[in-house]
Amino acid sequence: MKAGLRPGASPRVSARSAAGSTVLVAVLLVAAALGVAVYVLARQKSAIARLEDRIDMLEGAAAPLRFTILSRGGETVSARFAFYDAAGTEIAAFERSWKGGELSIECLVVPVAGRTLVFPSRVFADSAVPRIGTELFNYYDRAGFPAVFDSPALDGKAREALSDLFGLLRAWDRSKGEGSEPGQGAEADARRRTAKVLDGVFAGAYRDVRSLRTAEVGAVYTLLSRSGVEIVRE
């Protein structure tokens, strides 16, 4: 008798049993994803509705990010990025080098009542996959609140709505990372399905990727959120 088999059990029966368990796990994962999507959609609609009622509290043309390319040459590029609240106060900054020749910046953009809310999400070099770039959320995350929108004009409900939206966007961003991972089988397929479901929930949001290829070394550039993402030299 082969080790690992019950007396009288055949390898074929055991294989069918394992396959059935894997399929069951996948079905449960997809069902859970659908349930999460319904919950997330309700929260997203609630957050956006609350923001629509308070859209005038947000700055008309926010400048959440400034950056400077410090060096570019050989196999690396270095830069400094600084984050600002709606009043123009610096809230965080970092400086580092990336392996590659050029940088790009990705933002998550959410249209709300004719305005666009811009959440800088990551920086990556041309030698890397965008999903494994340098994440930016933590630099302006203040106990779940996106501090790039911080302003004395915001009331408690506006802050709560922004925090809810920020948390949902981060969950959506994570699901995209999981769904884009290579893999085969029922569980990998379930992760991709989860990401697809959340894509539908955030149908109005989109990723805006801007190349920093034309940025001159030593110059200061500002990322503006007006009708979308703009990068201007100061």
Instruction: Dump pLDDT digits (tens) for 187-196.
Output: 555 555 555 5
The dihedral region occupied by 34, where left means phi > 0, alpha psi between -120 and 50, and beta the remainder, is alpha
| pLDDT computed for residue 180 by the predictor | 44
Band of pLDDT at residue 174, cut at 50, 70 and 90 = confident
The percent of residues in the chain predicted with pLDDT above 90, rounded, is 37
**What are the residue ranges of helices labelled H in 53-133?**
none
More confident residue, 17 or 182: 17
| pLDDT computed for residue 222 by the predictor | 95
Do 150 and 133 form a contact (C-beta atoms < 8 A)?
no
What amino acid is encoded at 72 in this protein?
R
| Helix pair 11-52, 186-201: axis angle to 10 deg | 10
Average pLDDT over residues 163-182: 72
- Separation CA 80–CA 105 (nearest Å): 13
Band of pLDDT at residue 144, cut at 50, 70 and 90 = very high
Helix, strand or coil, per DSSP, at residue 207: strand
Band of pLDDT at residue 149, cut at 50, 70 and 90 = very high
Residue with tokens 């007006």: 226
**pLDDT tens per residue, range 77-129:** 999 999 999 889 999 999 999 999 899 999 998 888 778 889 999 999 987 66
Its pTM surpasses 0.75 = no
Average pLDDT over residues 211-219: 96
**pLDDT tens per residue, range 122-142:** 999 987 666 678 999 999 999
What amino acid is encoded at 152 in this protein?
P
Q: Where are the domains of the chain?
A: 11-233
| pLDDT computed for residue 17 by the predictor | 54
Q: Is the pLDDT of residue 61 over 70?
A: no
Average pLDDT, the chain: 77
